[in-house]
Structure 1
Amino acid sequence: MKRRHQDFPLSSLFLVIAVTCMFLAAGCTDTAPALSGNIRDDAWKTIELEEVRTGERFSVGSFAGTPVILYAFTVSCPICTRQQQEMTALKKSLGDDVVLIGIDIDPREEKATLIAHIEKNGFAGYYALSPDEMTSSLVDRFGPVVVTPASAPVMVVCRNGDARLLDTGIKSTSSLASSLKAVC
């Protein structure tokens, strides 16, 4: 009888841990629904960005007529670096048929650190430090997932300007190419 009494707290602890894990895991899936292109808050398309290596000024909208893949990241995020590798492979595969824009959403990031990260890894595309208004506008349009770098947020802007947020998680080069075709 004493043995049963000693096991009860251990089994209760196990139950509490199991319920806690289920609670924490609730809603955590490897996919999220893509948002409809019908929602309009397109300020992020016209906000001026500066390419950190060249100083060239541009906006997402300045590439109208060419599909744009826009992704948010931070230099310190290993998942982001992996996604950037896939993006670079896509750019090498599609060439001028797609524009890649990486925006560093870490407000403390230094331009020199971002340049070193790009050059060290040989990443392709345009890179900019995201101004606060760009980050805020993206959150308004796509939700807080765009400021969660570990979710590898990627947005596709089609030739006609429609924009979609792709599923969360690292997207392979072939998955990105397929998504680009399917969405645009």
Structure 2
Amino acid sequence: MKSIFKISGIMVLFLFSGCLQGMENAPDFTLKDVDGNSFSLHDFKGKIVILDFMATWCTPCEKQMEELVSLSKEIGNDTVIISIDIDLSENIQQIKSFMEKYNATWIFARDTAEEKVAAKYNVVAIPKIVVIGKDGKILYSHSGVTEKEKLLSIIKG
């Protein structure tokens, strides 16, 4: 009987955590892109931001990259993609090579031990996509590959 209550409690927590999307403010952060330019999440207030947590050695991240490349051709200037490499051991040249491999033209950065962006967004598996609305609230968060069509439906509301 106790285990039924525990399982029920866990299920309620999972259901409630899904309800927080759209209500939770996205944690701000400041990073440098692969060209050394500093940027913060708040620089993009008023735009939809897609955060892509990834690593260059991650096979599912390559599939996510293909989805994002396709998506990038269909979105307007009111949507920004930011890929954040969470592997602190990877160097900038590895990230640039990954970008070139996919002809990706959006912002790429590497997480830092000081900023810990992945921890702020509870990244436990990659790829992880987080979509932030124009108001700075988290609209969507998912670990695993998110298809372009799903992202388009979120962006278009």
Stretches of structure 2 lacking an aligned partner (at least 5 in a row): 1-16
For 1:51-62, what aligned pairs fall within 5 Å after superposition?
A: 51-52=33-34, 54-62=35-43
- C-alpha spacing 1:139/1:124, structure 2 compared with 1 (3 Å): same
* Match for residue 89 of structure 1 among 70, 79, 89: 70
Question: What is residue 36 of structure 1 aligned with on the other side?
Answer: 21
Question: What is residue 80 of structure 1 aligned with on the other side?
Answer: 61
Question: What is residue 133 of structure 2 aligned with on the other side?
Answer: 158
Number of aligned positions between the proteins: 141
Question: What is residue 148 of structure 1 aligned with on the other side?
Answer: 125
Residue 48 of structure 1 deviates from its aligned partner by: 1.8
| SS of residue in 2 equivalent to 1:103 | strand
Residue 37 of structure 1 deviates from its aligned partner by: 4.1
Using the size of structure 2 for normalisation, the TM-score is 0.79
1:116 and 2:93 matched: no
Higher helix share: 1
Residue 110 of structure 1 deviates from its aligned partner by: 0.7
Residue 41 of structure 1 deviates from its aligned partner by: 7.0
Residue 115 of structure 1 deviates from its aligned partner by: 0.7
Higher strand share: 2
1:171 and 2:152 matched: no
Q: Which of the pair has more CA radius of gyration?
A: 1
1:48 and 2:33 matched: no
* Identity %, equivalent residues: 28
Question: What is residue 126 of structure 1 aligned with on the other side?
Answer: 107
Task: Work out whether residues 55 and 86 of structure 2, in 8 Å CA contact, stay in contact via their aligned partners in 1.
Answer: yes
Residue 109 of structure 1 deviates from its aligned partner by: 0.7
What RMSD in Å do the two structures reach over aligned CA positions?
2.2
